Amino acid sequence: MTNTFLTLFDTALGRCGIAWGDNGILSASFAEDSDDRTRAHLRRRAKDAVETDAVPAEIATVIADIRALMAGASKDLMQARLDLRDLGAFETELYALTRAIGPGETRTYGDLARALGDVALSQRVGQSLGRNPFPIIVPCHRVVGAGGAMTGFSAPGGIETKRQLLKIEGAIGPDLIDLMV
């Protein structure tokens, strides 16, 4: 059995979390409506994780990059080592394709499905991204519907969180509400 840990950390978009073990990051979480919900989200893949503030350098770097990304810096998080052992081949390949989408860029569910061999896989792509245990690190917020439609985002805050992240990264411009502030 490996040792697993988790920590919560503040970002410009709220208090997020990350869980890791000997083989890499097990899960990450957007800010939930409470720290307990964030911990519960992380423990889906890190059931026995012990909460700690003693974060190894490798994880501290990922946390710093997540904070920077959520504050508007261009970060791709490709250096983050993920523990993919419990995931299927489809998810592993999909998450690799999704990680290759850089800050300020988007792809459609259809684009990813075609890259996986068949546009008919679009729904499966969406379902798999909806179960993404590594949001932000595997940037599922950069995947949009056909024509750039903001669809299919299961993170706290839903499509508005997706839109906010894409604005921060410069993938989409401000909307009328942003211009009025």
Query: Residue 12 in contact with residue 71, Cβ under 8 Å?
Result: yes
β-bridge pairing 24-29 and 14-21: antiparallel
User: Token pair of 122, please?
Assistant: 């679009």
Q: Is 140 known to be catalytic?
A: yes
CA atoms within 13 A on the CB side of 144: 20
Residues 6+ apart with CB under 8 A from 173: 167
Collapsed DSSP state (helix, strand, coil) of residue 112: helix
CA distance 95 to 49: 23
The phi, psi pair for 108, rounded to 5°, reads -95, 165
Distance of CA 35 to CAs 6, 44, 133, 158, Å?
12, 15, 17, 18
Set 140, 144, 165, 171: catalytic member = 140
- Separation CA 110–CA 144 (nearest Å): 9
Task: Catalogue the active-site residues.
Answer: 140
